[in-house]
Amino acid sequence: MRLKITKTNSDTNYYVIKDIKTLSGKRTTMIYERLGNEQELLKKSKGEDILEWAKKYIKNLNDKEKKHKNDILIKKSPYNIIPKNEQLCFNIGYIFLQNIYHSLSVHNICNKINEKYKFKYDLDNILSRLIYSRIIYPSSKLATFELSKKFIEQPTFELHDIYRALEVIAKETDFIQAELYKNSLKVSKRNTKILYYDCTNYFFEIEQESGLRQYGPSKEHRPNPITQMGLFMDGDGIPLAFSITPSNTNEQKTLTPLEEKILEDFNLSKFIVCTDAGLASTANRKFNDKNDRAFITTQSIKKLKTYIKEWALDPNGWHLPNDKKIYNINDLEKDGKCIELYKDKIFFKERWINENNFEQKLIVTFSFKYKNYQRQIRNSQIERARIAIENNSIKLDKCNPNDFRRLIKKTNITKDGEIAEKKTFSLNDDVIKKEEKFDGFYGVCTNLDGNAEDIIKLNKQRWEIEESFRIMKSEFKARPVYLSRDDRITAHFTTCFLSLVILRFLEKILDEKYTSSEIIDTLKNMNMQKNFDCSYEPIYTRTDLTDELHEKFGFRTDYEILPESRLKKILLKTKK
């Protein structure tokens, strides 16, 4: 800050002037404080030379500013209109994502790609904004370009640069995944002893299929072209690798190619692959029954051979962890209700089986809580089936295995064997009784000769990969997809994958105390108001979560006033 003196015909005024360099790099000056005219300063200086007093006063202000001890006074008038076309509100929440982005050296990955292609646009700036926006402001690429202007650091690219960058991101998606894994090892130890794999699909708002967009079995039962995503996740719930395939590809055939990439690009060789029953083909099990690999997979008890199924459902021969006693689960119920002591227990039995000339261990678990849960679900479906029968609003042409309509049977003939004029519908008691036999039972197959309790525990963590898909579909709004070109579709899911990795790391940093929705909502609402002196004021609610974010990342944005000089230091810190 420095002194400025302005003279008129009738008076002389003294001001404190401050030089400012904005975040965009432009330099400007502003009046920090009006000290007064000569008459006013004579009173303030108490006989001291006015010029000397003013210089001492400004020196004191500069000293305080260096120590961050001076208050900032902002004068506003109810009569002054704010400047036209000047943005005054900015999001600051993204800088926590930016810190993780740079910790994982994604900017260096972009630099390596840049050296290969020699393009002129800033891939780092584009990819980072695609990621931050996917988490905080999920939308189309066109809207993302506009929404990225809400961040306190403005984009340095144009809309057409985004579409050019998507082509390169698609070409380098394997390289990005491999480099990201390698960089992540410097940030945190990765639990690659067990890998979870699952598949899901995403629909397109079009009718014409082509390339990656094909008609196939939709998870949401939509009549749209869809594309399929396979995802590997490590034992701590952090995504490891993904692939995109057309939806008419059998999902069981997607595991091996992606796993081979992991073996080659990630330099991993010893791990356990955990999947659900839909991905548990014999070929996939055999692929992970060699070298130092193993598998744990959900096994449908209904699909087992008859004699094994009878063994699995037999009430005799059940165990509890750390208990040598053998239980008959029928003896643990009185008057149709479970004895309180065993209400939350998980029983198990195990044996080696030979299915399709392949030796593996079958572990079956039983839980009264799981039994009651399945009964509740079915009872609600039975009620829906009854209502549908009463209202005569039934279409049984297409019915998936979990649909309530499976519990309805159609009769086309009379008791005398004649063709009925009308179809009659009723509850299918045979199907209901058949399903009830399996309530509470759950099967797992593995080639591990280990402790059954440990294997069951590892299999339970599959919920995290299902949650990852939920986050991408809901919070990230990764579907419906409006892109048409295969390379842009691949690039879209690459940014979704990178966003998920960064969000998962953020959850870990916060000790998993908060849900993904809570974190995203908080980051989205962390806005700052720009003052006319280029300082910033937080206009978000300070909470336990914002406090923890600041504590974990080692800086604060929640001061009453944040001078631009201090904000610059924070932004630099997030990029180290």
What is the residue-wise DSSP string for 344-407?
A: T-EEEEEEEEEETTEEEEEEEEEEHHHHHHHHHHHHHHHHHHHHHHHHT----SS--TTSGGGG
- Peptide bond preceding 480: is omega within 30 degrees of 0, i.e. cis? yes
Query: What is the percent of the chain where pLDDT is above 70?
Result: 88
Residue 280 in domain: no
Q: Say whether pTM exceeds 0.85.
A: no
Q: What mean pLDDT do residues 354-368 have?
A: 91
Rounded to whole angstroms, the Cα distance separating 268 from 240 reads 11
Q: Is a pLDDT exceeding 50 seen at residue 301?
A: yes
Give 213's pLDDT tier (boundaries 50, 70, 90). very low
Predicted local distance difference test score (pLDDT) of residue 480? 44
Rounded to whole angstroms, the Cα distance separating 325 from 25 reads 75
DSSP state of 239: E
Q: Which of 101-115, 150-164, 202-216 has the lowest mean pLDDT?
A: 202-216
And the tokens for 326? 């053998």
Q: What mean pLDDT do residues 549-563 have?
A: 94
Count of structural domains within the chain: 2
Q: Which of 257, 267, 268 minimizes the C-alpha distance to 293?
A: 268
Give 210's pLDDT tier (boundaries 50, 70, 90). very low
Q: Which of 121-130, 401-410, 509-518 has the lowest mean pLDDT?
A: 401-410
Predicted local distance difference test score (pLDDT) of residue 364? 96
Predicted local distance difference test score (pLDDT) of residue 300? 92
In this structure, is the dihedral angle defined by the CA atoms of residues 138, 169, 479 and 190, taken in order, positive or negative?
A: negative
Q: Which of 10, 63, 1, 59 minimizes the C-alpha distance to 33?
A: 1
Predicted local distance difference test score (pLDDT) of residue 396? 60
Contacts by residues 425-428 (CB-CB < 8 Å, ≥ 24 positions apart):
425/388, 425/389, 425/392, 425/394, 426/389, 427/382, 427/385, 427/386, 427/389
For residue 497, which amino acid is it? Answer: F
Predicted local distance difference test score (pLDDT) of residue 224? 57
48-85 pLDDT, tens digit per residue, is 888 888 888 888 888 877 766 556 666 677 777 888 88
Give 448's pLDDT tier (boundaries 50, 70, 90). very high
> Where among 17, 49, 66 does a domain terminate?
66
Predicted local distance difference test score (pLDDT) of residue 477? 59
Helix (H) or strand (E) holding 510: none
Q: Which of 160, 66, 153, 64 minimizes the C-alpha distance to 120?
A: 160
Q: Which of 102-111, 384-393, 395-404, 441-450 has the lowest mean pLDDT?
A: 395-404
Rounded to whole angstroms, the Cα distance separating 446 from 364 reads 11
Predicted local distance difference test score (pLDDT) of residue 409? 84
Task: Considering only residues 392 and 433, tell me which one the structure prediction assigns the higher pLDDT.
Answer: 433
Predicted local distance difference test score (pLDDT) of residue 2? 87
Q: Which of 59-73, 469-483, 539-553 has the lowest mean pLDDT?
A: 469-483
Rounded to whole angstroms, the Cα distance separating 318 from 365 reads 9
Predicted local distance difference test score (pLDDT) of residue 23? 67
Predicted local distance difference test score (pLDDT) of residue 414? 61
Predicted local distance difference test score (pLDDT) of residue 461? 83
Q: Is a pLDDT exceeding 50 seen at residue 314?
A: yes
Helix (H) or strand (E) holding 252: none
> Where among 402, 421, 447 does a domain terminate?
447
Predicted local distance difference test score (pLDDT) of residue 47? 80
Q: Is a pLDDT exceeding 50 seen at residue 22?
A: yes
Query: What is the percent of the chain where pLDDT is above 90?
Result: 50
Round the average pLDDT of the chain to a whole number and report it: 86
Rounded to whole angstroms, the Cα distance separating 280 from 199 reads 12
And the tokens for 259? 């796993």
Give 203's pLDDT tier (boundaries 50, 70, 90). low
- Within 8 A by CB and 6+ apart from 139, the residues are 133, 147, 477
Task: Considering only residues 34 and 233, tell me which one the structure prediction assigns the higher pLDDT.
Answer: 233
Tokens 């009046």 — which residue?
31
Residue 318 in domain: yes
DSSP state of 340: G
Q: Name the phi and psi angles at 317, rounded to 5.
A: 85, 25
Q: Which of 75-89, 256-270, 360-374, 503-517 has the lowest mean pLDDT?
A: 75-89
Q: What mean pLDDT do residues 298-327 have?
A: 94
Q: Is a pLDDT exceeding 60 seen at residue 117?
A: yes
**Domain residue limits at 61:** 2-66
In this structure, is the dihedral angle defined by the CA atoms of residues 275, 276, 280 and 285, taken in order, positive or negative?
A: positive
Rounded to whole angstroms, the Cα distance separating 440 from 373 reads 8
Q: What mean pLDDT do residues 113-117 have?
A: 93
Q: Is a pLDDT exceeding 50 seen at residue 223?
A: no
Q: Which of 187-201, 269-283, 478-492 has the lowest mean pLDDT?
A: 478-492
- Residues 101, 128 contacting (CB under 8 angstroms): yes
Residue 564 in domain: no
Query: Distances from the Cα of 92 to the Cαs of 132, 138, 144, 149, 570, in angstroms?
Result: 11, 16, 16, 12, 11
Q: Which of 514, 489, 526, 477 minimizes the C-alpha distance to 98?
A: 526
Task: Considering only residues 21 and 31, tell me which one the structure prediction assigns the higher pLDDT.
Answer: 31
Q: What mean pLDDT do residues 160-167 have?
A: 93
Q: Which of 71-75, 207-211, 259-263 has the lowest mean pLDDT?
A: 207-211
pLDDT winner (highest mean) among 211-225, 349-363, 517-531: 517-531
Residues belonging to the chain: 576
Residue 562 in domain: no
Q: Is a pLDDT exceeding 50 seen at residue 218?
A: no
Residue 106 in domain: no
Residue 346 in domain: yes
Residue 78 in domain: no
Q: What mean pLDDT do residues 481-501 have?
A: 83
Q: What mean pLDDT do residues 170-189 have?
A: 94
Residue 417 in domain: yes
> Where among 415, 447, 479 does a domain terminate?
447
Q: Is a pLDDT exceeding 50 seen at residue 215?
A: no
